[in-house]
Amino acid sequence: MLASLELIQKSLPALMEGTFVTIRLTLLILAMGLVLGLVFAFGQTYGNRLVRLLVGIYDRVFRSIPELVLLLLVYYGMPALGIRFRPFDAAVVALGLRAAAYMAQIFRGTFMSVGSDQLTAAYSLGMGEFKAFIHVIFPQAIRAFIPPFANEYAIILKDTSLAYAVGVVELLRQGQYIIAVEYNPLAIFLAIAGIYFILTFGVTRLLKRLEKKLKIPGMGV
Amino acid sequence: MPDKPLLEIKNLKKSFGDNLVLDGISFSLNGGETKVIIGPSGTGKSTILKSINRLVEPDDGEIWLEDTEIISCRHINAIRQQIGYVFQDFGLFHHLTVLKNVMIGLTRVKKIPKEEAMKKARYQLDRVGLSGTEHQYPAQLSGGQKQRVAIARALAMEPKLMLFDEPTSALDPELIGEVLTVMKELADSKMTMLVVTHEMGFARSVSDEIIFIEKGSIVEQGPPEKMFRHPVHDRTKEFLFKLEDLYGEGSG
């Protein structure tokens, strides 16, 4: 027991190094998901038929393929087409494209959650579309956005461990290296699980607090 | 009438698909007048109001607000600032306090400094009897209070014209009175008002003229006493009797 604790302590710097790679992966995938997702959501909400069709196909495809398959396809498959990614980049691209499909749905849902009466009321005061979005739609949509976003963040963070499969030295692989030398899988895997837990639980708790803070008095949700 | 009307509607037409909703509506409203539009549901009453501030784009006709033709006007936001609009379902901004709901048009659209906007907003809230609710949120208010906030929000913009689109239809019966009282006071203060409502008591005691619309056309219009006592058309008589049966006269 004591030996395990000492091992974990000794391994901590290496695990932290892996943790930082995991965090970087998470942030980049999140950023890609948010930016592309927002574009897709606008496309699906306001675009013409062709744009809506294309976004719809994208959504279906990327939500129907296992992430691991997607990742292997990007890393091992694309070079045949002359597109070569480093492992880290392949992970960001593959997982980011998937995240974008989900984020688009989240954005769409939050836009639609703000009733059309709000927009009409804003127009009737003489606000243009931009002002109405900034002062009326966005502040309400952001509140509806937080819970599903927290959920998606947790999924993205945990799924960065798939990058292991293409050789990215993130938290899980860093742990594997230690296990290969020290041979104490229980202690190291537990430590890894603990770090994932803290990253997931800590941030979702923060988001939960933000959600509470932004809650509109008198509103049910 | 010597003066030019404040609002003049000429031959207004609108279809939704194959459904002809407005079939050439014309009437006018002088400054300080209150007119009530009545008629069966689905006959385009709301569409007239929505056309006036272009929440609906009419197909044909003219709408003059003093010297500006609204349908062809390129600066609709400038027009909308001059027309207060009160919705059936309030349309209050859920994320803002009562005070901020009333202030937002002043600060964000009219660009009035915050202090001054706050003063104007408090004045209007006082006018509709809601001093003391400034820091509450819409969801914490009763329906009647919400509608009065909505009226205060519209009034704060100092509009030339107030449009009321069935302002009491979403309210519990016991809350209707407080909203009608505020509207009556507004009419007494010579605000120019166009009201779509089923409240016959209000129409009878407050309006200068009642306009009865059916199937997109004006069947008959005239002062309330004439409309109630000596309507020219049988259809008008029939409709008014039915409404009085349904809604009574007491609530105005």
pTM of the model: 0.85
pLDDT tens readout for residues B27-66? 999 999 999 999 998 889 999 999 999 999 999 999 999 9
List phi, psi (to 5°) of A117.
Answer: -60, -30
Dist CA B214 CA B23 (whole Å)? 10
Burial, A83: exposed, middle or buried (Cβ in 10 Å; 0-12, 13-18, 19+)? exposed
**How far is Cα B209 from Cα B168, in angstroms, rounded to an integer?**
19
Q: Which of B55, B78, B136 sits opposite A124 (nearest CB)?
A: B55
Q: What is the pLDDT along chain B (252 residues), one digit of tens a residue?
A: 457 899 999 999 999 999 999 999 999 999 999 999 999 988 899 999 999 999 999 999 999 999 999 999 999 999 999 999 999 999 999 999 999 999 999 999 999 999 999 999 999 999 999 999 999 999 999 999 999 999 999 999 999 999 999 999 999 999 999 999 999 999 999 999 999 999 999 999 999 999 999 999 999 999 999 999 999 999 998 998 887 777 655 443
Characterize the bridge pairing of strands B34-38 and B193-196: parallel
Contact B27, B9 (CB under 8 A): yes
Closest CB to A131 among B78, B108, B138? B108
Q: What is the pLDDT of residue B251?
A: 42
| Cα separation, A170 vs A29, whole angstroms | 14
Please tell me the distance from the alpha carbon of residue A57 to that of residue A210, in angstroms, as a whole number.
34
User: Chain B interface residues facing chain A, Cβ-Cβ under 8 Å?
Assistant: 53, 55, 77-81, 83, 85, 87, 89-95, 104-105, 108-110, 136-141, 153-154, 157
Query: For residue B37, which phi and psi values (nearest 5 degrees)?
Result: -100, 125
CB contacts, 8 Å: A113 with chain B: none
The interface predicted TM-score of the complex, written ipTM, equals: 0.93
pLDDT digits (tens, 9 = 90+) for A27-62: 999 999 999 999 999 898 888 999 999 999 999 999
Contact A217 B137 (CB under 8 A): yes
How close is the nearest chain B Cα to the Cα of A216, in Å? 6
Identify all chain A residues contacting B153, using CB atoms and an 8 Å cutoff: 125
Write the residue in B105, B137, B141 that is nearest to A125 by C-beta. B105
Q: Which residue of B has its CA nearest to A216?
A: B95
- d(CA B251, CA B135) in angstroms, rounded, equals 30
Helices (H), chain A: 2-46, 49-64, 67-72, 87-113, 116-124, 129-132, 138-159, 171-182, 185-214
B137 CB neighbours in chain A (<8 A) are: 216-219
- Residue B173 in tokens: 């019966």
DSSP class per residue in A187-203: HHHHHHHHHHHHHHHHH
